[in-house]
Structure 1
Amino acid sequence: MVLSRQPVPSFVQLAAHPLRWQLLTTLSGGDYRVREMATLVGEPQNLISYHLRLLRDGGLVRATRSSFDGRDSYYHLDLDRCTQMLAGTGTALHPALVLNPAPPPFDPTPPIAVLFVCTGNSARSAIAEALLRQHTGGRVDAISAGTHPKPGMHPNAVRVLREEFGIDIAGQHPRHLDTLADRRFDAVITLCDKAREACPEFGDDTRWIHWSIADPAAPGDADEDTYPTFQATAAEIDTRIRYLLPILTTEPRIRSVR
């Protein structure tokens, strides 16, 4: 009896190519532009763009237009989609190969200091700081700052953290990045393309990570109109925080290209 040929799972088809696998592992460390990935992997930009398009079409990678230079795009892994496709790959091989969604225990020793940076420190970086503190039960020294801080927290940032996550930052005020110049951080995470370009160096031992996340506050719009965007932004940051935890205690495989 000849067995029927089984289709190769999509994740295997996409990730098995050596260059695409290298691109996926590169993006596991943060968001990058095409020219940066070309530098990191040592391949021509047109070849990188071709394989990124295949990864995008397959749902493993997403792209966002840069808020610093609208002609550029940042690419990042769709981590939840990768998890789903990996789970499907396991069960396609054997029904007992079920991906365990339980996160590994997180207990950093020595303590870890993480800085989140955006432009105004009134929404994205403040949300990230609050969510990292919540996810780690305060075991991480999380702090946030802005390159050009706003006068106060955005009302929708306060609201979304209170209503969706039970966190109160009503008494918190935006902080200027310059006030932290003498601090040492294990990781600096920029959530704004403009802030990435303006953020100073914090030493060679600091892990640099960039998350290209658009500002949820639309100028001129009422707070009620932009609240759904804040909900989506907070949900994305929360997902990224959950996947960040396991790599905070590992050595970075890739140094950021800035």
Structure 2
Amino acid sequence: MHMRVVAGRQGSQWIAESWAVFQLRPASWILLGVIDLLVTAVLYELPYASDLTAVFTVLWTGGMICAVDHCRATGNVGLADVVRGIRANFQPLFAAAVFGLLIAIVCDLTGDRAASALQLLAFGGAGNSHSLVALIAGAIYLTAAVIGTMALWLAPALIVLNGATPADALRASFAATWHNGQAALMYGLIVAGLMLASVLTLGVALLVVAPLIYLSTYAASTDMFPREL
């Protein structure tokens, strides 16, 4: 796989490209977004199963990447395309999902302490052994969250589109995010704005935003890792 370093403005271009593909079959993409949201919500609410949302997200992302590729080629998309993508790449996607699960577990174990660390930093309460533990936990949480996000962002797309092994996909995703920091930052800010819009619309906008995130991930991956013909 050859990685490209792209201009910072490409972060917005990925969103524009995803919107163009979304408009080809808006109803189908919204339906897939609804399925994604429902499964995620159910897993999150089940006792002791919330961390499994990380596994589902990686698998579902791989399937959605396959669906985007099919839609760009044929103009059609459906749940069968997602399922086909997951089945065809299940083993490498699941291996990447296990990494996502480990990151989720670390974040869960340190999440409460991380919140305490933020309070200590905000109010200047550092000074005893409990505050030191909270600060260490906060550092672990932040490190795991950042590394996990960078490594997992493009990994499913690289597995599906470029035939990368799980380890190579995770490393390449991290490297691409690092070397394309300006584009990734612009993209992240736009996604954050879209998520805020979803909150302001009481979740209605999320029906569009959810599939757009997968569509834009496809655009980002093919931009930074052109497929070899």
Q: Which structure dedicates a bigger proportion of its chain to helix?
A: 2
The structure number with the bigger radius of gyration is 1
Q: Which has the higher contact order (CA 8 A, sep 6+)?
A: 2
Q: Which structure dedicates a bigger proportion of its chain to strand?
A: 1
**TM value normalised by structure 2:** 0.25
**TM value normalised by structure 1:** 0.22
